[in-house]
Structure 1
Amino acid sequence: MRVQDDEQPVVVGFDGSPESRRALRWGVEEAHLRFIPLLVCHAWQSPYPMLSVTPEATDVVERMGRHVLDMGLIMAHDLAPRWPVRGRLVEGSPGAALVGASGIAEMIVIGPRGAGGFDELRIGSATLQAVAYSRCPVAVVREPGHPRADRVAIGVQDASLESAELGLAFEEARLRKASLLAICLCPEDCVDTREAAVRFNTNVAVWEEKYPQVQVETAVETSPHLEVLRHAADRSDLLVIPRRESDDPADLPVGPVCQALLREAPCTVLATPPHASGAAAR
C-alpha cells in the first residue's frame, strides 16, 4: 500500500522546543497509523513590528526560521526515513499559521506551549488559538503522566453526541489497537439518566458495529464534568473532547472544561471543532 501525496496530511507545528519535538514524534506516529503524509510547519515573524526594520534584518529572521524548519524535517526523516514529509515555512504568528493549514489537514498536532514564555506556563497562546479556530481536530501532545494504558477516552457533554466525534474516537482506538472509554456527561442536577443512557448507548452501538475490533466501555456520569474527564485522562493515552461545551455561537471559542484539560490533563488531548472533520468523520 502506497501513501498518496495528495491525501490530507497530519500537520505538526514545530519551533525546535522540547514540546514541539515531542509533538513531532507523536505526529509521525499518527501519520503512520493513518497512512497519510506529514507536513511540518514553522512560522517566523520579525521580532520588532516597526517600520525601521530593514529588509536585511527581516531576511536574517527568515533564514533563522528556515533553519528551524530544516531541523524539524531532518528529525521527521530520521523518525520515518521513507515516509512522505513536506515542510511549510510561513511568515506570521504560529497560531495563525496552523489555523490556516487546518483547511487542508487531517489533524493539527502541537505541543502545549512553544519556545519562550515562562517555566510555569501550562498552555501557550498559539496552542489556544489553534484549538479555538482550527477546522480540523487538534492534538495537544503532553508527556504522559502515567504508564501506557492502551486506552482512548471520549467525553460527551450530552446524549446527543455528534457522530463525527464518536467516529473519530473509535478510529483512534482502532488505529492504536486500544480500548475505548466513552463517557456520557449528563447535567449535574440530572436525577434520572435512563433516557440519556439509552440514546447514548444506541449511538455507541452504531459505531461498535463498524468497529467490532474495538473493546468499548461506556459510562453515564452526573459528577462535575471536569472531575470526570480528569479521572478518565489518568487512565488513558488519549482524551477526545469537543473544544466547547455547546454549539451556541455566543459561547467562548474554547470552553472552560476544554481549557482546563489542555492545561492539566496527564495525557494528550484531541480537541474537536463543531462537526469534527477527518477521515473517520466523513
Structure 2
Amino acid sequence: MNGEERTRWPHILFGFDGTAENDAALRWAVEDARLRGIGLVMCHSWHWPYPAGHTDPDIEAIMKRAGENLLDSGVRRAYELGVPGAVRRRLRRGPVVEALLRASGGAALVVLGQSGEPAAGSVALELPARSARPVIMVRDAPAPRRVVVGADGSPGCATALGFAAEEAALRGWDLHVVHGCWEPGAVAESELALFRDRELLERTRAAELDGVVAPLRARYPDLRIEASPLLERPFDALWDAAQDAGLVVLGDRGTGFDPLGATATAVLRRAPGTVAIVPGRRSRETRTLASDRRVPARQG
C-alpha cells in the first residue's frame, strides 16, 4: 500500500488545522460530501518539536490531547455546517504531507485550505505533486458558479475533464473547457506547420476539442458546457478564464523533476480562487521521484 491507509468507507479526506482560512475549505468539503453522498474524514497532524530520539511521554501526551481537542472542535464545526452522517477522525504525528498521503488511500479526494501564494515546499504544492487522489486547494474568495478546466490533449486530460464535469454537475454550475493551444514547442514535428496558419490551427484545435467534450455532453445533458480553443499560451488562457471561476481544474502534465507541470504550478500559485489538481498520467515512478527530491513542507 506504499504506506497508505485504506479506508473502505467512501469519503472525502479533509486536512484540518483550526485556522480561520481552514473554515472555507471545511465548508467546501462538507458540501462535496453532501452532494456526493459520501462521508468525511478529518485529519490533523501534530509535530514533535524536539530532536529525533528525544522522548518525553508527558509532553507527548499533552500534544496528543491538544490535537484531539482541535479535532473535536473541527468535528463540531462540520456538524454545524450540516455534514451528512458521521465524521471520522485521524490524528497523526509528523509532517502534514506525509500524514495526508498515508490517510488518503481510500479517499475520493482531498480538500485543504489555502491562503496567499504558496511557497516552495509548502503543503499546497507538495501534496498535489505527490498525491494519487484529486486535491482541492480552497481559497476563501467569491465563487462564481462556473468550473474552468484546462484541456490540452495530454494523457491526463480526460481524467481532469471528467472530474470537472462531475463537480460542475453536482453543484449546478456551468463548465468552461479551455484549451490554450499556442504551444509550438510542445507538439510533434508533423504539427508545426499548423502554427504558420492561425485560422487552420484554430479550426483543427476546435474540432479536436469538440471530440474531447462530446462524451461529457452525452453524460451530462443538462450541464451547460462552453468549449474554447484559444490561440494563447495555456497559462494565459487559463489565467483569463480563472478570473470568472469558482473552481479551476487541472491535470498533471509534468515529469519526474516537475510532477505538476509549469502551467499547473503557476495556476496553483497565482489563481485567485479554488484550484483542483487531478492526477492522471502521473506514474508511480514519477511520484517516487517527486518524493525523493521533496523539501520539508510548510503550511500555506
What is the DSSP-based 3-state SS (H/G/I as helix, E as strand, rest coil) of the residue aligned with 1:97? helix
Question: Is contact 1:112–1:142 with CA below 8 Å preserved after alignment?
Answer: yes
Equivalence for 1:163: 158
For the residues of structure 1 that align with 2:266 and 2:212, how far apart are their CA atoms?
A: 27
Alpha-carbon shift at residue 186 of structure 1 (Å): 1.6
Equivalence for 2:180: 185
For the residues of structure 1 that align with 2:84 and 2:227, how far apart are their CA atoms?
A: 39
Equivalence for 2:10: 8
| Equivalent of 1:129 in 105, 126, 129 | 126
The normalised TM-score by structure 1 is 0.85
For the residues of structure 1 that align with 2:230 and 2:156, how far apart are their CA atoms?
A: 15
Alpha-carbon shift at residue 196 of structure 1 (Å): 2.9
In the alignment, is residue 256 of structure 1 matched against residue 253 of structure 2?
A: no
Alpha-carbon shift at residue 259 of structure 1 (Å): 2.0
Alpha-carbon shift at residue 159 of structure 1 (Å): 6.6
What is the DSSP-based 3-state SS (H/G/I as helix, E as strand, rest coil) of the residue aligned with 2:182? coil
Deviations 1:52-101 (A, max 9, x none): 34121122111111111111111111112652211111111111111122
For the residues of structure 2 that align with 1:137 and 1:212, how far apart are their CA atoms?
A: 24
Question: Is contact 1:160–1:200 with CA below 8 Å preserved after alignment?
Answer: no
What is the DSSP-based 3-state SS (H/G/I as helix, E as strand, rest coil) of the residue aligned with 1:163? helix
In the alignment, is residue 199 of structure 1 matched against residue 195 of structure 2?
A: no
Query: Any gaps of 5 or more consecutive residues in structure 1?
Result: 114-119, 277-282
Moved segments of 4+, more than 6 Å: none
Deviates most, 95-104 or 5-14? 5-14
For the residues of structure 2 that align with 1:275 and 1:177, how far apart are their CA atoms?
A: 28
Alpha-carbon shift at residue 167 of structure 1 (Å): 1.3
Equivalence for 1:83: 85
For the residues of structure 1 that align with 2:210 and 2:183, how far apart are their CA atoms?
A: 19
Question: Is contact 1:9–1:105 with CA below 8 Å preserved after alignment?
Answer: yes
What is the DSSP-based 3-state SS (H/G/I as helix, E as strand, rest coil) of the residue aligned with 1:38? strand
Alpha-carbon shift at residue 203 of structure 1 (Å): 1.7
| Equivalent of 1:266 in 266, 269, 272 | 272
Question: Is contact 1:95–1:127 with CA below 8 Å preserved after alignment?
Answer: no
For the residues of structure 1 that align with 2:83 and 2:169, how far apart are their CA atoms?
A: 25
Q: Letter of the aligned partner of 1:269 in structure 2?
A: V
CA RMSD of the aligned region, Å?
2.2
| Equivalent of 2:21 in 19, 30, 49 | 19
Q: How many residues align?
A: 261
The normalised TM-score by structure 2 is 0.80
Q: Are the structure 2 counterparts of residues 220 and 87 from structure 1 closer, same or farther at C-alpha, using a change threshold of 3 Å?
A: same
